[in-house]
Amino acid sequence: MEIKSEQNGKRLQVILNFENGYGISAVKFDGSYGSNFGLWELAVLDGEHVTTNTPITNDVIGYCSDDDIAEIIHQVKNLKKP
């Protein structure tokens, strides 16, 4: 697992990459889905690119709490490549 974290002014991004080739990008910035409530917007990654082709989601997932992020991380870590 590789972890990258970037905080740039008002933007916070955390990227986790897993051994199965998938990962997540979680962001908080003005305009992200949930930022008004201190929540995360999450995208599933296939390599370095956002994917909308997984059983987890077909889009970004907004309004995620820390607990939501933890659950999605578990799901993504356990995805099998087609």
| Other Cβ atoms closer than 10 A to 17 | 18
pLDDT given at position 9: 72
Which residues have a Cβ under 8 Å from the Cβ of 13 and sit 6 or more positions away?
Answer: 4, 5, 6, 7, 25, 26, 27
- Measured in residues, the chain has a length of 82
Question: Nearest 5°: phi and psi at 72?
Answer: -65, -40
pLDDT given at position 48: 92
pLDDT given at position 81: 81
| Position 8 confidence tier, pLDDT thresholds 50, 70, 90 | confident
Give me the percent of the chain exceeding a pLDDT of 70: 91
Q: Tell me the mean pLDDT in the region 23-33.
A: 94
| Position 36 confidence tier, pLDDT thresholds 50, 70, 90 | very high
Helix/strand/coil for 68: helix
Domain ranges of the chain: 2-77
